[in-house]
Amino acid sequence: MKKPYRQISLGFSAERFREGHHIIYIYNDDHDRKKTMAKFLQQGLLDDEKVLYLLDDISPEEMKKELLDLGVDVDRKQKDFDITKGHYARCPGGYFSPEFMLGIVGEYYDNAIKAGYKGARGAGEMSWALAEGRSTVPDLLNYEARLNDILETHPLTTVCQYDARRFDGALIMDMLSLHPMMIVRGQLVKNPSYIEPEIFLAEYQERMNRNNG
């Protein structure tokens, strides 16, 4: 029998939401982003969840200091909080594999439940994907599309962070299409641009065929 979803707080609003949401956060201000993510991560620790953060530009030690300054109990909750460079988790062989990362997501949630946590949540900075030779756009889109299905059975609440100053506008629009929820001005809202993953991938393939034809 399928375990019922919990209703959880994301930490940055009073409203409660079903766990396992696939959320996009498009930002252009690092200070606001860090404050919002600190609230999201701290709430997970308060709610007895296993918490994962995949970072990009700075070291885990630097990120821990920033989170401590923002009120996150990183030191006291060390065993509950995993923080690592994102490309190590996603690109263990130097290249991004959607299948590998989807397996990691499911395994992370299952291990958290087995260890006695009430649930799990994670946030990841996505700029690692911009490094040459690390990933392709089709692989990244395929991962984001298929993640929606994984989260239905392994409801790890997930925030994918995209820096609008670094990502191409067309790619950000495609990413928007694959996330049912989005963070806007510190609030979680339904994404009006969301397209069912199967429909998006079919339309994307048609678009690529036309461009290459």
Q: Residue 204 above 60 pLDDT?
A: yes
Q: Quick one: pLDDT at residue 1? A: 44
Tell me the DSSP string of 186-213.
Answer: TEEEE-TT---HHHHHHHHHHHHHHHH-
The whole-angstrom separation of Cα 40 and Cα 34 is 10
For residues 160 and 175, the answer to whether their CB atoms sit within 8 Å is yes
Query: Which residues are registered as beta bridge partners of 56?
Result: none
Give the CATH number of domain 17-212; options: 1.10.4190.10, 3.40.640.10, 3.40.50.300, 3.10.450.50. 3.40.50.300
**Tokens standing for residue 2:** 């399928």
Range 5-32 average pLDDT: 93
Cβ neighbours of residue 184 closer than 8 Å, sequence gap 6 or more? none
The pTM (predicted TM-score) of the whole model is 0.91
DSSP state of 179: -
**Tokens standing for residue 50:** 């296993």
Confidence of residue 75 (pLDDT cuts 50, 70, 90): confident
Using one digit for the tens of pLDDT, what is the confidence trace for 110-119? 999 999 999 9
Question: Phi and psi (nearest 5°) for 41?
Answer: -70, -45
Residue ranges of domains in the chain: 17-212
